[in-house]
Structure 1
Amino acid sequence: MTAATGRSPGRAPAAFAPERRSFVAQNPSVVWFLAILALFCLGVTLMAEATGTGALSTSMVKTLGKTLCLCLVALAMDVVWGYCGILSLGHMAFFGLGGYAIGMWLMYARTEIIVAENLSGAVLPPTEAEIRDAIARQIFGVVGSDEFPAIWSFADSLVLQLAMVVLVPGLLALVFGWLAFRSRVTGVYLSILTQAMTLALSLYLLQNESGLRGNNGLSGLQNLPGLGHVSQATISIAFFWASAVALAAGYLLFAWLVSGKMGSVIRAVRDDEARLRFLGYHVESYKLFVFTLTAVVAGIAGALYYPQAGIINPAEIAPIASIYLAVWVAIGGRGRLYGAVIGAAFVSLLSSWFTGGGAPDIDLGVYTVQWTDWWLVLLGLSFVLVTLFAPKGLGGLIDLIAERRAPARVGDLGPDNGALRREEGPPEEKAR
């Protein structure tokens, strides 16, 4: 011990020891988000047709359930773009692949029930091969085929198709990300590559030879096999709650991911990738992990979305859909998980209102503004205005209301980048 201080050399004073804070203390928005989501779900349940007063129609409950799914994929987009700095214009492709994976089982199982009922009156009971051939004709007759493509090999198994919801987007993201990140492709070039991947996938799915019914897509997904006696009102509220649980779990997962050491590394990838690599971190591994994880979450969101939408076709995977997703996150405020949720919910609900005829047309005398035609112009203008004048997006309003400030930390107020600066410290440090 030293004579001046009475403590061992090299040991930090107790006052300067780092304070270990709990996950909730580091992420107060998590508690608020879960509480608001729970109250929202309770209110919808009390007003739904199947479980409450009927003030909310079944179609509105489905719209709200789909909005929750869009909020979940927006969360994934915010993590990969707002936190990791990878502007991916292909995450809606992973969203669509998750929808196709569950849609294949829904179509197969529902068609199997219909075929079995039609063949039940035959003199001789049909064989399994005859039933399967009849199912193939029923599903693929619209594209002039009567055989199951190879990708439908597991369509008769719900468990395997649920696995495909995770595996197909995850493997595609893993392979694509490994090829792109190991080649040190960054910035706008990486965005172009993700957009090219999305375009190639959508063009392939448009072909009848893709095995997914080409431009016709998969339809009737809202009719769950074996639940024909259950009303759509009941099914809609069940999917609404499933979407809410998935969104809550996704928010918790990503809040945990970006709050610890992993979160610091991810932000460093965004802010100064070269310096992080110089410090010895394998940057490509972190980028690949985030890219793949968010793709899997996007696939899960899609698997919950399309049974509520009822149909999925290649247009859902077109590059414009991923651009819309980036716009939602930008308007909500990237780099804030709650901002992504706010942006996706606000824009998607507003879009439903404008394009669904809720917004009245404006008669200017010489021209009538019809919002079904002008909504996209308004959305693009909003994106430009937010980018120029409100880069924090709608989530920045939450920051103003909560008066968020940097935590009052004590310690060495060094001059280096990343060090605790004097203006970040408590008042007594600033006064020195």
Structure 2
Amino acid sequence: MTSVTENMVSQGGGARKSFIAQNPSVLWFLLALALFTLGVTVLSEATGSGVISTSFVKTLGKTLCLCLVAICMDVVWGYCGILSLGHMAFFGIGGYAIGQWLMYARTEIIVTQSLSAAAIPPTDQEVVDAIGTQIFGVVGSSEFPMIWAFSDSLFLQLLMVIAVPGLLALVFGWLAFRSRVTGVYLSILTQAMTLALSLYLFQNDSGLRGNNGLSGLQNIPGFEETSQATLSIVFFWAAALALGLGYVLFAWVTSGKMGSVVRGIRDDEARVRFLGYHVESFKLFVFTITAVVAGIAGALYYPQAGIINPAEIAPIASIYLAVWVAIGGRGRLYGAVIGAAFVSLLSSWFTGGSAPDINLGFYVVKWTDWWLVLLGFSFVAVTLFAPKGIGGLFDLIMIKRTPDRQGDYGPSEGAKRAEEGSVDVEDVK
């Protein structure tokens, strides 16, 4: 905590470093992401090479979206110290928001084509009623709930992708942070919020088709003639662009004076408040902006997945998200990306039937059944033996460790420098 508060106090003095100088990983990450995106594009079925199948391109695109929401979780937990068990709820809300327009617009095209053959042209109300019957017939209804009021407008639904997660996070965060709820109690509150939301969505009268959720989202209205191979690579590009912009945004948030304050809140909230910073405002800003970006990630994820249901918002999803960040290495943006990508792709391999079963003679290990056990053991192992996660390995390789300077001030390699003579009061004690 000493180094963080010293950094906060000394921000105004000396030469101010540029954003890139403070965050050298940004350029490396963007370069790696660009090369990865280019490589997948060239090898995809959309370009004719067919080395990478369309289904795997979709898997990679979804993985990039999960990497983005993992960065959000890392900023909240790894940098600000808020263990949120509800960020996948914001992710799901973004998916539901864009899914409403996709279902409405797609159903409208089908209904219009079906009714165009009638002897008497249908009225606008008849078209709306037919759309309602198609969408909500599965839950025994035909009327549009109020929650679908803007579903016919792509622009308004895109606003909902940003506004609904942001507003929910703003209200929840304001109530929680102003009451100074911290630690495990705050985690329980975020989990309770997520559970309440998922249980509500499971009801048929929620207006979002209950347990059936929203389906057929991979069929993009207006692009009926476009192949899935092309659509998959377009969404892959969009996910890569969102991940790159999100990485730069949160690298900015966690650097400079703001980053020092945020990390200071994580290490010693009371001390940061004593220094005169309005802790609640910083926490609310971080919580809200990460919720908005998580909603955007969800809006890009579910058109590639093709379906969303309330199970996607269940608390267990947010717990998985925390596990990804812990395995990758919290407190490092690239660590969150590594953790999410590693676990997501490994999960697809184990649960998709690609991993061979192991016959022990007396028992056959089926990875589709044992994957979650393996994931749990991995989390425990990382917590006990590698608390810095996979990202910690990059720290050992990329970051030159400074010498442990002892003794009197002086020019020698092992001595403290004069400019390092600011001694903390606690150190004197």
Q: Which TM-score band applies after superposition, normalised by the shorter structure?
A: over 0.9
TM-score (norm 2): 0.92
- Residues 388-408 of structure 1 show CA distances to partners (whole Å, capped at 9, x for unaligned) of 110100000111111343599
Shift of 1:409: 8.4
**What are the equivalent positions in structure 2 for 1:184-195 lying under 5 Å apart?**
184-195=180-191
Q: In percent, how many aligned pairs have the same letter?
A: 79
The residue aligned with 1:252 is 248
* Change in CA separation of 1:251 and 1:410 when aligned onto 2, cut-off 3 Å: farther
8 Å Cα contact 1:108-1:135 kept in structure 2:
yes
Look up the SS of the partner of 1:50 in the other structure: helix
The residue aligned with 2:8 is none
What is the distance in 1 between the residues matched to 2:19 and 2:44? 35
Match of 2:336 among 331, 335, 340: 340
The residue aligned with 2:144 is 148
The residue aligned with 1:48 is 44
The residue aligned with 1:209 is 205
Shift of 1:19: 2.5
Shift of 1:280: 1.4
Match of 2:423 among 388, 394, 415: 415
Shift of 1:281: 1.1
The residue aligned with 1:424 is none
Shift of 1:163: 0.1
What is the distance in 2 between the residues matched to 1:356 and 1:122? 45
8 Å Cα contact 1:65-1:244 kept in structure 2:
yes
8 Å Cα contact 1:58-1:233 kept in structure 2:
yes
Does structure 1 residue 113 correspond to structure 2 residue 121? no
What is the distance in 2 between the residues matched to 1:348 and 1:364? 27
Shift of 1:116: 0.1
Shift of 1:30: 0.3
What is the distance in 1 between the residues matched to 2:47 and 2:417? 50
The residue aligned with 1:428 is none
**What are the equivalent positions in structure 2 for 1:119-130 lying under 5 Å apart?**
119-130=115-126
Shift of 1:415: 2.5
The residue aligned with 2:7 is none
TM-score (norm 1): 0.92
What is the distance in 1 between the residues matched to 2:425 and 2:300? 44
Look up the SS of the partner of 1:302 in the other structure: helix
What is the distance in 1 between the residues matched to 2:285 and 2:402? 29
- Residues 335-390 of structure 1 show CA distances to partners (whole Å, capped at 9, x for unaligned) of 00000000000000000000001110000000000000000000001001101110
Runs of 4+ in 1 over 3 A off after TM superposition: 403-410
Look up the SS of the partner of 1:391 in the other structure: coil
What is the distance in 2 between the residues matched to 1:65 and 1:319? 23
Does structure 1 residue 322 correspond to structure 2 residue 326? no
What is the distance in 2 between the residues matched to 1:252 and 1:278? 30
8 Å Cα contact 1:45-1:52 kept in structure 2:
no
Look up the SS of the partner of 2:272 in the other structure: helix
- One-letter amino acid matched to 1:414: S
What is the distance in 2 between the residues matched to 1:395 and 1:346? 11
The residue aligned with 1:132 is 128
Does structure 1 residue 103 correspond to structure 2 residue 99? yes
The residue aligned with 1:6 is none
Shift of 1:277: 0.9
**What are the equivalent positions in structure 2 for 1:158-307 lying under 5 Å apart?**
158-307=154-303
8 Å Cα contact 1:206-1:214 kept in structure 2:
yes
The runs of 5 or more residues in structure 2 that have no matched partner are 1-11, 404-415
- One-letter amino acid matched to 1:144: G
* Change in CA separation of 1:173 and 1:29 when aligned onto 2, cut-off 3 Å: same
- One-letter amino acid matched to 2:235: F
Shift of 1:22: 1.2
Aligned pairs, number: 405
What is the distance in 2 between the residues matched to 1:99 and 1:51? 28
What is the distance in 2 between the residues matched to 1:409 and 1:295? 43
* Change in CA separation of 1:39 and 1:418 when aligned onto 2, cut-off 3 Å: farther
- One-letter amino acid matched to 1:322: S
Shift of 1:127: 1.0
